[in-house]
Amino acid sequence: MYQVIQLEGTIEPWWLFDELQEDIVSVQEYQDFYEALKAYKKLCQTYLARCPQFDSREELMAAFWDESEQTWCEECGDMLQEFHSIALLENGKVVSKARYRPGYDHDTDNPFPSGTSLN
């Protein structure tokens, strides 16, 4: 079983802290990896169009943000960046290495090639 999760919060998805559960705003479940990947790609494209900054990883996790979206942290006494994140999980965990997609390993300073869709 595969899950495509959307998160909104101050933690990037690859940290996989227990607190991430609180940040989940949507979970879509799929039996087929490629159907899950299609949904993940669609969300990536949506966030790439909306957010000027991003970090996308080959293990199918990505964070998108706008530096103007920050939240005050009482505990640390500082402003924290708000992230819009997505992850494609396999049975609630990082996908197996065989499912990694090196072509997704990009960020704001190393963007996806112009006119290229995620593959």
Is the confidence at residue 55, as pLDDT, over 90? yes
CA angle centred on 67, ends 63 and 68, rounded to 5°? 125
The residue among 53, 79, 52, 63 whose CA lies nearest residue 8 is 63
pLDDT on residue 13: 82
CA angle centred on 106, ends 35 and 7, rounded to 5°? 55
Run of H or E including 65: strand 61-65
Domain positions in the chain are: 2-90
pLDDT on residue 110: 77
pLDDT on residue 69: 95
- Render pLDDT for 2-41 as a digit per residue (tens, 0 to 9): 999 999 999 888 776 666 788 899 999 999 999 999 999 9
Q: What are phi and psi of 90, to 5 degrees?
A: -115, 110
Q: Are strands 106-107 and 53-57 parallel, antiparallel or unpaired?
A: antiparallel
* Helix, strand, coil tally for the chain in percent (to 5): 25, 40, 35
The mean pLDDT value of the chain amounts to: 89
